[in-house]
Amino acid sequence: MATIAVLGTMDTKGEEHAFVAKCIQRRGHQVLVIDVGTLDAPTLKPDITRDEVASLAGIDLATLVARRDRGETVRAMSQAAPIILAKLHRERKIQGVISMGGGGGTAIGTAAMRALPIGFPKLMVTTLASGNTSQYIGVKDIVMFPSIVDVAGLNRISTQILTNAAGAICGMVEADPPTIENKPIIAASMFGNTTDCVQHARKLLEQEGYEVLIFHATGTGGRVMESLIESGMVAGVLDITTTEWADEIVGGMLSAGRSRLEAAARLGIPAIVSPGCLDMVNFFGPETVPEKFKARNFYAHNPQVTLMRTSVAEAAEVGLMVAEKLNASIGPVTVMLPLGAISYISAPGQPFHDPAADHALFEAIKKNLRHDIRVVSLPHQINDAAFAEACVKELLANIRSLQR
């Protein structure tokens, strides 16, 4: 039997949370009701009151409520709710969390859930699940469950959705993860255009006794990888695919933000870094490409993804940024340059083959890189087995250099 936190604004969504709580209890689990409402009296009696939640964050709830500013109260509870959930998790008093809401409730509920570790069951029933949810999920594994109708009373649609949601969170807390051998972790970045390289490297690293976690370099993937490295769980980083920097610099859709490449450098985690797929900037359908780029070289990766070739100037700017990020490294890092091609489609005869842009990228990295950071230039294309093998050799050498 598990204890599932039912967290929400019990002044406006008390009826819905009460329904879910009963569904959970019928499955044999306990509930811990947490009220993060502010403006009116709760319609569902909480086990942890709003005043208790607010006090943990040093918030004077009475003064806040007196102003009757909904935006201000949502911001306040978005700061306080993560503190109570993190505390309950540390004390092992909850094994899962579910919440329901519209805009305000989703902001509070997901803020609280982002304070919990990856793997902890967390489910948000929300009116916002079908839109862009990146600001709510962040780098955590929050399940966004579409409410279909507004979270505003019980009806033939909402009761079915809420029953399913209650069943989902119960299933999550009941699931026993398989026992996996505790091996040192390598974090790796991959894209469709670097798949062969990373998969070959993964097999070699697994033969050496490592567990390889691969992150899709789509913005969110890069942020999640940086978060994992930051957590201290990682023994090494195989950063083959740094393409997200092209999107950040040029203005594509898959940027991972300005902190990409910082975690391993700052913590001294052994790493190899390669300019994989820095030949491309990602947009969605052709209609999402800004007008200023219309005359550029494009490649339709699929109907939903349009790639744009980086120019010589853009490549040089990206190379400078990569070098500047790596210059902060306090641990062993090697830059691996595949001179033959930095993606499948930049190889000779392919649509993004542009030797001048590649040269500008490589030279910008080498020219601006700290002199004591090792650079290995190889004639291979990035997906050649020989390049993957060289990357693995360098990464293992960097890891072992810290073990001497």
For residue 230, count other CB atoms closer than 10 A to its CB: 17
Please count the other Cβ atoms lying within 10 Å of the Cβ belonging to residue 97.
26
Cα distances (Å, whole numbers) of residue 248 to 110, 242, 297: 26, 11, 19
Q: Does domain 3-174 have CATH number 3.40.50.12020?
A: yes
Q: What angle do CA 325, 327, 333 make, to 5 degrees?
A: 95
Please name the helix (run of DSSP H) or strand (run of DSSP E) that holds residue 21, with its range, or none: helix 14-26
At residue 121's C-alpha, the angle toward residues 33 and 25, to 5°, is: 45
Q: Amino acid identity of 167?
A: G
The amino acid sitting at 278 is L
Asked if the model's pLDDT at residue 65 lies above 80, the reply is no
Sorted by sequence, the CB contacts under 8 Å of residue 68 that are 6+ apart come out as: 39
So where are the chain's domains?
A: 3-174, 185-401
Name the residue among 22, 268, 231 with its Cα closest to residue 119: 231
On the 0-12 / 13-18 / 19+ scale of CB atoms within 10 A, 371 is exposed
**pLDDT at residue number 378:** 98
- Rounded to an integer, what distance in angstroms lies between the CA atom of residue 277 and that of residue 218? 11
Per-residue model confidence (pLDDT) at position 69: 73
Q: What gap in Å lies between CA 225 and CA 205, rounded to an integer?
A: 18
Quickly list H helices, 39-132.
Answer: 50-56, 61-67, 70-90, 103-113
- Given a cut of 90, whether residue 49 has pLDDT beyond it is yes
pLDDT at 217: 95
Res. 319 pLDDT band, cuts 50 70 90 = very high
- Asked if the domains at 3-174 and 185-401 fall in one CATH topology, the answer is yes
Band the pLDDT of 403: cuts 50, 70, 90: confident
Mean pLDDT, the chain, integer: 94
- How much is the pLDDT for 109? 96
Rounded percentage of the chain residues whose pLDDT exceeds 70: 100
d(CA 95, CA 22): 17
Give the dihedral of Cα atoms 103, 134, 56, 162; nearest 10 deg. 50
Distance CA 203, CA 211 (A): 10
Residue 164 has pLDDT above 90, yes or no: yes
CB atoms inside a 10 Å sphere around CB 58: 9
Compute, in degrees rounded to 10, the torsion defined by CA atoms 228, 229, 231, 235: 110
For residue 147, pLDDT beyond 90: yes
Does the pLDDT of residue 214 top 80, yes or no?
yes
Name the residue with tokens 């909402």.
158
Q: Which CATH superfamily is domain 185-401 in?
A: Uncharacterised protein family UPF0261, NC domain (3.40.50.12030)
Residue 236 in this model has a pLDDT that exceeds 80: yes
Length of the chain: 404
CA distances from residue 387 to 264, 345, 390 in whole angstroms, order as listed? 22, 17, 5
pLDDT tier, 123 (very low <50, low <70, confident <90, very high otherwise):
very high
